[in-house]
Structure 1
């Protein structure tokens, strides 16, 4: 099958990054404004992430943020990218998302992950008074399938348990991952699969292809659906996109060195940073996870990605310092890829 730009859906992942010189409250407000604009421009989904004890990322509770985003938008699907399921009761997660689905039917996505989402101290605090953990991840997903798409059967340890509120629709269930293991799990359980190319640029197309070939239908999905997520920056020229990407370059280098997010540096801070030769190597390697360039260059790279991954949807995160540059990137991509938003959208 030949995949074209016109065939694909475009979606957004926003991690509520806190720019240098800004505050977490301002970062969350920018996420809200971005979702409103994405809805207006015709993007398909808008997902928000979960990170803990991270000074540079304000989004720690995707369910709470999702409720507000869904309230101020009208068409775009709103989702989590991702709820870190090993920290929580699957039953409670199911009820949270049933409430969201009841309020905004047909517009809610439940994206799941098992990453730490923060440092060791935060992980310990989140797991306090809980038994089990990541090793029970598959069981938790199976429980979610029961809670969201029916009820636990007679063989289940909670047979007869009802999930409130009872609604006629259910959120779309997605597994997020960056390996063949996560692809195999999504295929085995019959969920959607979102490959995080912005985390791992190697082996993703094979993971998605194996997901498709081994997919087993479930109450959550009768056929495989997949997306690939990348970092993306679009500007009027490739030189300007490259300049804006300096903020992301330094942010990723600092994250790798300290294993914590410290905020998005300005372009000026990034260009003035004293990089080591190894830092320069890491920047080059990290650039493989990004789509950068002018509108035509970004469109060509997106088209190449959907051909390589044989997927119907691209989701992207734009990590730049200035909100105005992020907004412009969003609009340029919508225009060059022919999204159909509100009449008269710029």
Structure 2
């Protein structure tokens, strides 16, 4: 049985507000909980008109209060902005609120442009130079194995509870996979960002894994998927995705295109080349076709789990996509 999870960027679709996007995240989390998805991750972004969640840790508290059993986590928190000990406290508190349901996924990307990154970091953004040490510090904080000279050695991690969040490394290159292997933590490769060589990264992670925080490797692939009832609906949704890819490639800071915008947009040769180049990062179609491609991707990655990102031109289409995918894979809610 394939384990499926959800990655949500809280997209702001053209014609809707950020408040609409936040409400749609709450609705989707409840649906994913009902449908049998394994976990629900929220991504951190800053200064982007197309996404509306700069604070996953706040959103997760809300989602935990309206769901029953699905795991909740960050996919991910952008660790270079934060002190590892403070981040550990935040997610330890979430774990206290929702025992055995919290994931702490970390990444090193800025989640926005460099000017915004410096604003978020109060002028001290270091481009992720200290990221490997920050992740090692998180492992040491949760394991109680910080070196004697570390500033947080012996400091009480609050709240004091018997469980810990699951710790995950997120990445789209060999760097993240090898660091996760070295530190002995779970790893999720962002196929929706880099569709070129993720299988090799996942294989290297498994081969070089050193038991520490986890006893054995656990690898997931995060993939962009849209399921639709008909080929015509899938094609319409794909046109909106194409427009979004073009906007991103050209550096346009805009809301997510609606289905109507995607259907009326015309392109020149440069834009068509961008669309063609980006096709490999998406799986879009009717449930049977999507399921076949998703299973093939899982096999290539030897993935323990697939984490599905769906950014569609309407919130209703996004909900429907996750319903169709759950049905195609016969997901069931486990007690």
TM score, norm. by length of structure 2: 0.96
Query: Secondary structure at the residue paired with 2:139?
Result: helix
CA root-mean-square deviation: 1.5
Of 191, 194, 206, which aligns to 1:197?
A: 191
- Aligned equivalents of 2:151, 2:255: Cα separation in 1: 44
SS of residue matched to 1:109 = strand
How far apart, in 2, do the equivalents of 1:39 and 1:233 lie? 19
Select which of 13, 21, 37 maps to 2:7: 13
Question: Could you give the per-residue CA deviations for residues 269-318 of structure 1, whole angstroms, max 9, x where no partner exists?
Answer: 11222312121111112111111111111111111011100011111111
Contact 1:198 1:230 (C-alpha < 8 Å) held by counterparts: yes
Paired residues of 1:78 and 1:108 also in contact (CA < 8 A): yes
> In the alignment, which of 233, 237, 262 is matched to residue 240 of structure 1?
233
Alignment of 1:275 onto 2:294: no
The CA deviation at 1:212 is: 0.4
Alpha-carbon distance in 2 for matches of 1:131, 1:139: 15
SS of the residue 1:135 aligns to: coil
The structural deviation recorded for 1:184 is 0.6
- More displaced 10-residue stretch of structure 1: 115-124 or 77-86: 115-124
Q: 1:78 aligns with which of 72, 80, 99?
A: 72
Matches within 5 A, 1:162-311: 162-219=156-213, 221-258=214-251, 260=253, 262-311=254-303
Is the 8 Å Cα contact of residues 43 and 76 (structure 1) preserved in structure 2? yes
> Partners of 2:237 and 2:125 in 1: how far apart?
44
Instruction: Tell me the distance in 1 between the aligned counterparts of 2:261 and 2:116.
Output: 29
8 Å CA contact 1:62–1:83 kept in 2: the answer is yes
**Structure 2 Cα separation of the partners of residues 342 and 138 of structure 1:** 36
Q: Measure the CA separation in 1 of the matches of 2:286 and 2:251.
A: 32
The whole-number CA distance in structure 2 between the counterparts of 1:99 and 1:292 is: 38
Distance 1:342 1:98, change over 3 A: closer
* Equivalent residue, structure 1, for 2:138: 144
**How much has 1:129 moved relative to structure 2?**
5.8
Tell me how far 1:339 sits from its aligned partner. Answer: 0.2
Matches within 5 A, 1:27-106: 27-106=21-100
What is the distance in 2 between the residues matched to 1:100 and 1:313? Answer: 23
Pair 225,96 (structure 1): closer, same or farther in 2 beyond 3 Å: same
User: 1:327 is matched with which residue?
Assistant: 319
Structure 2: unaligned runs, 5 residues or longer? none
Deviations 1:190-234 (A, max 9, x none): 111100010000000000000001001112x11101110111010
How many residues of Structure 1 are paired with residues of Structure 2 in the alignment? 335
Distance 1:133 1:226 in 2: 26
Is the CA contact (8 Å cut-off) linking 1:41 and 1:342 kept in structure 2? no
Per-residue Cα deviation, 1:66-100 (whole angstroms, up to 9, x for no partner): 11111110111101011000011111100000000
**Counterpart-to-counterpart distance in 1, 2:252 and 2:265:** 19
